[in-house]
Amino acid sequence: MIALAVAVILLVSCYLYGTRTFKYWEQRGVKHDKPKPFVGNNFLGFLFKKSMTQVANEMYWKYPNERVVGFFRATKPELIIRDPELAKRILITDFDYFYKRGFTHEKTVFEPLMQNLFFAEGDVWKLLRQRITPAFTSGKLKAMFPLIVERAEKLRARTMAAAVEGRPLDARDLMARFTTDFIGACGFGLDADTLSEEDSAFRKLGIKIFKLEVKDIIKIMLKQMFPDMFCNLKTWIRVQSDVDDLVGEILRKRNHKPIGRNDFIDQILECQMKGTMKGESIEKRRPDGSSEIATLDLDDGLIAAQVFVFFAAGFETSSSATSFTLHQLAYHPEVQKKVQDDIDRVLAKHGGKLSYDAVKEMTYLEWAFKEGMRMFPSLGFLLRKSTRPYHFPELNMTIDKNMKIIIPIQSFHNDPKYFPEPEVFRPERFDPEEFDSNNKYIYMPFGEGPRACIGTRLGLMQSLAGLAAILSSFTVEPAPETKRIPTVDPASSVVQSISGGLPLMFHQRKK
């Protein structure tokens, strides 16, 4: 009997622990699905049967008349924003309440690779952003552009080989190789040549970063279900040594000094040579309310973290966006013809050569690319975390400190309230004369506000150059095995990906 009583007490205790927060949204009058013990509303997410973008999108459409929707990731309450005005306030107006990205638990053990511009929090993020921003000026991008052109020529050569043989190419893999090659050259100063080498070590590193193993999945689940107990589990340990070795070798070859190559490593080394970073703290204040002075040294560990995110974020997002755009053009030959006419017109004006100025003039190509990102944004959601309690007056509701906020970009982009007939691929939506300026805080494929993607212009130029290189020489069509509506990989993490790739046929154009 004693053993039975103990077992009952343990079961009841476990149940109470696994449901202890489940009245949170009910007490605040926020609609939400009924959560399950320990997993909350994220059971399929934990099983990697639905990505976070898919989960947020489902909740968005389930409660069409709500401005916000409650959600439980395990036992942790989170808030999904359905109102663009509230999204704007969180991302911009009241940014000082929401400057944290929110991908790490406040007690998580220090991970060197997480100290990058995307994941870093507080003063580390602010000081890095201030110091690194000048590396992405238009002048710096223009200086990098010859590196893009070199890779674009290799992209054309790889595509030509498939076109001659009449075999399909996976557009996702093709564009991932192009962006990996470019980032290898532009970010690391290396000739990765992933477009020629099937088993390129650099391409393998890119795959390794985003491919989760079973042990990684278990770590993520434990950290979300029992954050205080398992906060010391490291997520990026599997690639830490690979990145450290690669960056360390590059820095040694350059003797820790810029070599005039105008790549990202040069820009970072220039930042390091400027000495200690200083600025007003976003986290700490003096008794009189003024900000303390925060400092940070850009050591080799921080350099490795920035190069890591430059590589990971750059190649995955751009390859996702460009390949999906090619997929849509394959099914819309009339739009593809307009894009090719636009490219041909501009190249004729510039002597047939791709250049920074030429790509800037390809306006219809840019509209088509933006439309592709509207339909399938690489980042399907934005995440923020409150730094202190925050009150929503129109909802008469206050959230606590450390509340995660989900802004469902995919849902905004495909809501007919903002984009009529959202399922139709129509680049003219982005004609400045037609684009609704009120949609600025609805269409946000690169984020918005102080934490928007620092490499937006570089990513745009790289992507447009790759598309121009392909479409100036080839026409794309669906392959026999191509799915009209691609299947999203439910195991996608921050960046969305497609299951099974995007096979397409590439036919050489007759000019």
- The annotation places the binding site for heme at 453
Half-sphere exposure of 433 (CA within 13 A, CB side): 2
7 by Cβ neighbours in 10 Å (0-12 / 13-18 / 19+) ranks as: exposed
d(CA 240, CA 202): 15
Question: Which residues fall within 8 angstroms of residue 165, CB to CB, at 6 or more apart?
Answer: none
Amino acid (one-letter) located at 334? E
End-to-end alpha carbon distance in the chain: 88
Contact by Cβ (8 Å): 375, 422: yes
Sign of CA dihedral 179, 429, 54, 30: positive
d(CA 416, CA 61): 12
Nearest to 22 by CA among 37, 12, 7, 5: 37
CA max distance for the chain: 90
222 by Cβ neighbours in 10 Å (0-12 / 13-18 / 19+) ranks as: middle
Nearest to 267 by CA among 252, 277, 257: 257
Half-sphere exposure of 494 (CA within 13 A, CB side): 18
| Residue 81 φ then ψ, to 5° | -95, 125
CA 216 from chain centre, in angstroms, equals 20
Going by the annotation, the residues of the binding site are: 453
Strands, E assignment, 30-183: 68-73, 76-81, 169-170
Q: Which residues of 272-290 are buried (b: 16+ CB within 10 A; e: fewer)?
A: beeeebebebbeeeeeeee
3-state secondary structure of 316: helix
Question: Which residues fall within 8 angstroms of residue 140, CB to CB, at 6 or more apart?
Answer: 134, 262, 267
| Residue 392 φ then ψ, to 5° | -100, 100
Nearest to 317 by CA among 175, 425, 201: 175
